[in-house]
Chains A and B, each alone.
Chain A
Amino acid sequence: MNPLTQLFNKPPTVKLVDDEVLNMPAPDYVVLPMDYTQRELYSWQVEIGDQVRQNQIIARNSMGVCLHTPISGKVFDIKPVWSEKGVHVPAVCITRGAGDIVSTDEIFDQYGVSRNQASFDDQLKALGIHPPWLPLAIDSVTVNHTPEVITNLVVVGYDEEPGIYIQYNLLIQKFDAVVQGFNLLKKILPNATQTLLTDRQASLQIKGQLPQNIQLKSVAPQYSARLLDTNIPKLLNIRFDHDRDYALQGAVVISIERLLVLMAAIEDSQPFTTKHLTVSNKAPAEQRTIRIHHGSSIRSVLEFTGFSKHKPECIIAGGPMKGIAQFNDLTPLTRSTDGIHLIAEDQIASGSGESCINCGACTRNCPVNLQIHLIGRYVEFNNFNSAKEFHPELCTECGLCSYVCPAQRPLVQFVKLCNQYGNQKNEHTPKIECSIESPLEEWDQHCTTSADMGSCPHTCH
């Protein structure tokens, strides 16, 4: 677009806070992936054909954190599906059927410890929450890591991605609950200084209402000023390594949404089975924040919110900057998805990859100061060895370089390609053999039309 016209174009004004967060009813079937961003790998504990009840533990990871089914019904398949990160992962598919809710005591029975004897960390894990004061990897747990070593608590009250307003909505709507959450964490993490990190708009609204012991910090509205990867080290004055594990450095960084989930688990013993999500459309600008059950498909969410009327050509899971375009609209949405961004056909940037004119906008905008213009060119001509000298592995994949590129070059994709295939000595031959057709298509058609979904004879083989 001509930059001159941008001088006069105002961004469209969208109502940021919804009157109420819409609760989406339980879908006809859920698909629960067992692999979340290659960090949390779950192994399932159910078989095809099992009857499951709502909140039953169906999987567990190496740390002991559990995954619960949000609906009662029957396990009708366990099969690889496309996850929202664009990779094939195994998933447990459950159709809705009859069955009551599993009580809290039964959850602990399934977990293998009685509720009274379980430690506080185990209680949280049984309810599906990784205690944020524990390191992420199993080998780090052997180190004596108690909540007392945590010296910093940062609750993030803004969404990094433009177009996602989960934290902002929750902060304004459930402000009292957030303050209670801070008080609760004060008891659990007695040595931590508490900070609430919000954007300017929210900080103006809640100024003066926060208790004295909570510091309020605000960030600028630009996307580059909101990147957590640069804000948290700046705020805490701690250096984090690239594969950041805040707990190892004595810090807890959680979002407001996770804070509320944590509170619900501690006070009401509620398992973690729902997720907030902002559905947004590029043009006309429109957004809605809703709460879904884990494993709902994008199609059901779009139908529930009425956004399917926009007839999106491109569906991006995770927001417009760091999000990943989806192969189809049956991808399950899980605990790691913050939003869906819809783009109509005429709004898609061509991304045709014109040749680089060396303007350097990418390099000057890079939050980690990578020489993106050189990396991109080297990778374009398969010269991975030269590209590696500029440390593409430190990229946080924020997407600013591609966003500012006047030639619309796929720069983040170049960096990803370099990190993925760069070790193969300049012989870049990625083989894509998987079909992009989702195996869920057949199930979706059957399950949403069949009257008795619990006893589905069609796909339960």
Chain B
Amino acid sequence: MIYISIIIGCILGAIIGMNTPVISYTYSSYLAIAIIAALDTVFGGITSVIKKNFDLKIFLSGFFGNAILSIALTYLGERLNVDIYLAAVVVFVGRMFTNLAIIRRHYVDKWTNKFAEMSHKNKKEVKE
């Protein structure tokens, strides 16, 4: 169910994104870091769904909070002449990998169990 909603969201988002006007290149670096933050939150949300501890408030605050915080950090870095956004990228991408690993393990375990059950059943049927 959740994957269907994600796919629909992706398709609709792509259509909307294609039709929006091009933003100035000056702000595109902020947007890029916000995208990374949001991507991290979405993966986090999927993980929490799998772990069955999904909380809407945490999800939404994370989605917008992380994006805004990363934009603010990037802006600050620009003022200070330090590439702070690199730190944000490292943290978010690292977390993304962690979340992806959790998701991957979950499904690998699930399917391994399924196959094991199926083969077990088959053997039983053959014996009978």
A binds B: no
Interface set of B (CB-CB < 8 Å, partner A):
none
